[in-house]
Amino acid sequence: MRKTVLVTGATSGIGEATAIKFAEATNRLIITGRRKDRLHELAEHLVQEYGIDVLPLCFDVRDRKQVDKHLGHLPEDWCNIDILVNNAGLAAGLNHIDEGDRDDWDQMIDTNIKGLLYVTRAIAPGMVKRGSGHIINISSIAGKEVYENGAVYCGSKHAVDAISRGMRIDMVKHNIKVTNVAPGMTETEFSLVRFRGDKERAASVYSGVQPLTGEDIAKVIFYCATLPPHVCINDVVITPTAQAAAHYTFRKS
Ligand code: NDP
Ligand code: 8X3
């Protein structure tokens, strides 16, 4: 059956691949992100390629007012959201804690934790009212483990992991599923963003290893979202075969 699916951070990487995956199955999509051009290009592509209805909403998840403006007043035919994929997020920088950039910390915490909460707060009441829904939070292997130079990013993703568990308890009596998806190394724009556009440094993250792709994660998200109503995947960790832990990757030289 066709569902209405909201994917945050759909302008690249995992979010974009997830939007495409749900569009292939002719679901209706709300896609979000800050980069307006990309968002509208994707919306156009999805409409033309799959003949589905798409609502692109351009806003910053860190801005509570913008979140409420866009998601608190959805057009009537868009307000029954069946599946929320809380994907928008990022890592900024890679530093020891004593050298960390406080603007980076704010950006990660405000996006990965507070943005996810603001979006959820706008959408969950409708699911509660209807007594059904599925919230899929994109955490990370960094929400399961910590690594040198990653204290704040890992902290933000541990928070997502904990929030997913708490949400599941709060939502269980309302028949709402909550799934925490924790990807390992996935080649998207993630490293380019983390290293502020340094292409060489970003590429070095994936040297000698076949990383996951956004499409790999999208398939897992889609699988979790299409199980029978009585089945809920609580938590899933996905890594490339060559990655055994956050910082234990077998690289071919
Ligand atoms: P990308 O950089 O390719 O995509 C990130 C997406 O998040 C973009 O669409 C971006 O859109 C959006 N975004 C970032 N900040 C904001 C904001 N303030 N407001 C709205 N949207 C925002 O990276 P990935 O696809 O890899 O990342 C997606 C999620 O997956 C993130 O939560 C990330 O932490 C997580 N993840 C990634 C892994 C990886 O190795 N790549 C592994 C584990 C988890 P725009 O810039 O247009 O706003
Ligand atoms: C992204 C994966 O290992 O770079 O969440 O933190 S990692």
Q: Is pLDDT at 194 greater than 90 in this prediction? A: yes
Q: Give, using CA atoms, the residue closest to atom 3 of ligand 2.
A: 246
Ligand minimally distant from the alpha carbon of residue 237: 1
Q: Is pLDDT at 111 greater than 90 in this prediction? A: yes
Annotated catalytic residue 118: no
Ligand minimally distant from the alpha carbon of residue 139: 1
Pocket of ligand 1 (CB under 6 A): 9-15, 33-35, 60-62, 87-90, 111, 115, 138, 140, 183, 185-186, 188-190, 193, 214
Shortest-distance atom of ligand 2 to CA 140: 5
Q: Give, using CA atoms, the residue closest to atom 4 of ligand 2.
A: 185
Q: Within 10 Å of residue 9's Cβ, how many Cβ atoms?
A: 25
Q: Is pLDDT at 53 greater than 90 in this prediction? A: yes
Ligand minimally distant from the alpha carbon of residue 37: 1
Q: Which of 111, 138, 139, 140 to mutate to test the pocket of ligand 2 (most atoms within 8 A of CB)?
A: 140
Query: What average pLDDT does range 204-229 have in this prediction?
Result: 98
How high is the pLDDT of residue 211?
Answer: 98
List C-alpha distances in Å: 138 to 14, 18, 21, 95, 184: 9, 11, 16, 23, 11
How high is the pLDDT of residue 253?
Answer: 82
Q: Give, using CA atoms, the residue closest to atom 48 of ligand 1.
A: 34
30: its two tokens:
């709300």
Query: What average pLDDT does range 9-14 have in this prediction?
Result: 98
Rounded-to-integer distance, Cα 43 and Cα 114, Å? 26
Confidence band (pLDDT; 50, 70, 90) for 1? confident
Look up the pTM and report it.
Answer: 0.99
Buried b (16+ CB within 10 A) or exposed e, 71-102: beebeeebebbbbbbbbbbbbbbbbeeeebee
Q: Is the CB of 111 under 6 A from ligand 2?
A: no
Q: Which CATH number fits domain 4-247: 3.40.50.720, 3.20.20.70, 3.50.50.60, 1.10.260.40?
A: 3.40.50.720
Could you tell me the distance, in angstroms and rounded to a whole number, from the CA of residue 88 to the centre of ligand 1?
5
How high is the pLDDT of residue 217?
Answer: 99
Query: What average pLDDT does range 70-83 have in this prediction?
Result: 97
Q: Is pLDDT at 166 greater than 90 in this prediction? A: yes
Averaged pLDDT score across all residues of the chain: 98
Q: What is the DSSP letter of 183?
A: E
Write down the residue that tokens 């709060």 correspond to: 170
Confidence band (pLDDT; 50, 70, 90) for 2? very high
Query: What average pLDDT does range 98-122 have in this prediction?
Result: 98
Query: What average pLDDT does range 4-26 have in this prediction?
Result: 98
Q: Is pLDDT at 242 greater than 90 in this prediction? A: yes
Shortest-distance atom of ligand 1 to CA 61: 19
Query: What average pLDDT does range 111-130 have in this prediction?
Result: 98
Rounded-to-integer distance, Cα 203 and Cα 47, Å? 32
Rounded-to-integer distance, Cα 39 and Cα 29, Å? 12
Could you tell me the distance, in angstroms and rounded to a whole number, from the CA of residue 38 to the centre of ligand 2?
24
Q: Where are the domains of the chain?
A: 4-247
Enumerate the β-bridge partners of residue 213. Answer: 187
Q: Which of 90, 119, 217, 236 to mutate to test the pocket of ligand 1 (most atoms within 8 A of CB)?
A: 90
